[in-house]
Amino acid sequence: MGDTYSQIVNSGLGKQVAGTLGLPRPSRLRRYTPGGTLIDGPVLVGGHGDAPLAARVRTLLGERGVAVAEAPAADAPSEETLSAVVADLSQVQSPEDLESLRALVGPALKRLGPSSRVVIIGAAPEQATGAAQRAARRALKGITRSIGKEMRAGGTANLVLVADGAIDNADAAVEFLLSGRSAYVSGQVVRVGAGHPSPAADPARPLAGKVAVVTGAARGIGAAIAEVLSRDGATVVCVDIPAAGDALAGVANKVGGTALQADVTAADAGSRILEHCRSRHGGLDIVVHNAGITRDKLLANTDADRWATVVDVNLGSILRMNETLLSDEGIREGGHMVLVSSIAGIAGNRGQANYAASKAGVIGLVDALAADEGVCARGITVNAVAPGFIETEMTGKIPLATREMGRRVNSLAQGGLPVDVAETIAWLSQDANAGVTGNVIRVCGQSLLGA
């Protein structure tokens, strides 16, 4: 599982060789630690026009004890190192207004330290009042993704698109993108809409008092999700098949939760999960549909069984379980559901037509559920994360050349860790994030695949 290349090119001699040859030198990413600071400031905050969100971000940073830097005058550029730039472009009316972004962010890029952040804030293009405004709003996506590719030393760039009237709902998204929780998230668009976010009483334990279910929790990404949800305060019900029972018990005991041995494809899986949560923990707030399998073969060689098994475990089972989990007795009002998709579901992958079918289907399912009247009425958010190349036992078995390729073809030149996927899921499970639903967040270090 170790990334030997990263170790070599970051060693003394390796650093020189890599520099001479122009080889990519992946940085050690800044990751979240409980009790740590949100980001080691200062953060440059600015924008175009009134920049109403910039004002909110300054308040947020103030509350978190992070220093705010103002844009320096053009004739007196500052050399101070910045940890992030937040640019509020929500008020752009036409393409000429984008110059505000260039003027603010462009010079600041040279002042960014390691694992720095660029967060662009815009308004929803589809709600624009005219062609020029829509074009300008849409342009932010291209700019953000370009900046992501220009970032150095583990830095990321992401875009937050805020819908009309949802200006109060963007704080949790901005905070996530500035924090170490989003270490491996870059080039992404977070769409913030209506909803009734409630900020966490204790920012260190945003999921305190919540009951969360994680399927496929025995190992890999699932185990990391259970650990992060538990760290953030949730009581975690760890679900996996009976054959993974010993590993599952280890995870459940580590996070102080409970283990529920169940095959997600069983007809009664949803009712067993719900019954367990209600009788043992008094209810259900968060569901993470993580369980998944691969049965890779070229489509030409894929038989009906390989096809059906993957589609049913990764997608069909979620539809069946949701009938119970999203019923009136299921997830409580204001709860959250996160589905684990995959970059293969976006970009496709040779030998993974069945897997890609299931993971792309997951995205369709998120679209449908986020628009579902019943789900919306009960204030339940439904989102997906799509991991890129994540260092797990599973990816450790990929042949070396393919594995190295998978690791490097992204803006951070390295694979992500299971915890990176888990952090994004934990963020999507926060009540402070109630305005974010129907999103697919890639945790891929801005992979070139499917971009």
Partner 1 sequence: MTQTRRAAIIGGNRIPFARQNGAYARASDQDMLTATLEGLVARYGLAGERMGEVVAGAVLKHSRDFNLTRETVLGSSLSPATPAYDVQQACGTGLEAAILVANKIALGQVESGIAGGVDTASDAPIAVSEGLRETLLKLNRAKTPQERAKAALGLRPGHLLPAIPQNVEPRTGLSMGEHMAQTAERWGITREAMDELAVASHQNLARAYDEGFFDDLMTSYMGLSKDANLRPDSSLEKLAKLKPVFGDREHGTMTAGNSTPLTDGASLVLLGSDEWAAEHSLPVLAHLVDAETAAVDYVHGDEGLLMAPAYALPRVLERNNMRLQDFDFLEIHEAFAATVLSTLKAWEDEEFCRERLGLDQPIGAIDRSRLNVNGSSLAAGHPFAATGGRIVASLAKMLHAKGKGSRGLISICAAGGQGVMAILEAA
Q: Which residues contact partner 1 (rule: CB under 8 A)?
A: 238, 242-246, 248-250, 252-254, 256-262, 266, 279-282
Q: Say which residues have a Cβ less than 8 Å from residue 37's Cβ, sequence separation at least 6.
A: 64, 65, 66
**CA–CA distance, 146 with 445 (Å, rounded to integer):** 13
Taking the least distance from each CB to partner 1, the nearer of 86 and 262 is: 262
Q: What SS3 class is residue 400?
A: helix
**CA–CA distance, 353 with 274 (Å, rounded to integer):** 32
Q: Spot the catalytic one: 5, 32, 184, 355.
A: 355
Taking the least distance from each CB to partner 1, the nearer of 236 and 417 is: 236
- Concatenate the DSSP letters of all residues of 311-340 into one string: HIIIIIHHHHHHHHHTSTTSSPTT-EEEEE
Q: Determine if the peptide bond prior to 42 is cis (ω within 30°).
A: yes
| Sheet with 235-240, edge to edge strand ranges | 258-261, 235-240, 211-215, 286-289, 336-340, 381-387, 440-443
Q: Closest approach of Cβ 241 to partner 1, in Å?
A: 9
Q: Closest approach of Cβ 264 to partner 1, in Å?
A: 13
**CA–CA distance, 188 with 160 (Å, rounded to integer):** 8
Taking the least distance from each CB to partner 1, the nearer of 86 and 284 is: 284
**CA–CA distance, 362 with 172 (Å, rounded to integer):** 24
Amino acid at 16: Q
Taking the least distance from each CB to partner 1, the nearer of 4 and 279 is: 279
Closest of 240, 227, 381, 419 to residue 317, by C-alpha: 240
Taking the least distance from each CB to partner 1, the nearer of 9 and 248 is: 248
Structure tokens given for 401: 């050349």
Q: Closest approach of Cβ 203 to partner 1, in Å?
A: 25
Where do runs of H (alpha helix) occur along 190-236? 220-231
Taking the least distance from each CB to partner 1, the nearer of 161 and 262 is: 262
Catalytic site includes residue 32 = no
| Residue 162, CA distances (Å) to 29, 124, 170, 198, 259 in order | 28, 6, 7, 17, 39
Structure tokens given for 196: 């009734």
Taking the least distance from each CB to partner 1, the nearer of 258 and 424 is: 258
- Classify residue 435 by its DSSP letter: T
Q: Closest approach of Cβ 104 to partner 1, in Å?
A: 50
Beta bridge partners of 87: 46, 120
How far from chain centre, in Å, is Cα 366? 15
Q: Closest approach of Cβ 430 to partner 1, in Å?
A: 23
Taking the least distance from each CB to partner 1, the nearer of 237 and 340 is: 237
Q: Closest approach of Cβ 268 to partner 1, in Å?
A: 9
CB atoms within 10 A of CB 389: 23
Q: Say which residues have a Cβ less than 8 Å from residue 262's Cβ, sequence separation at least 6.
A: 239, 240, 241, 242, 269, 272, 273
| Residue 332, CA distances (Å) to 127, 259, 377 in order | 31, 21, 12
Residue 373: is it exposed, middle or buried by C-beta count within 10 angstroms (0-12/13-18/19+)?
exposed
Residues in the chain: 451
Q: Closest approach of Cβ 242 to partner 1, in Å?
A: 5
Structure tokens given for 243: 């054959």
Please identify every residue annotated as catalytic: 355
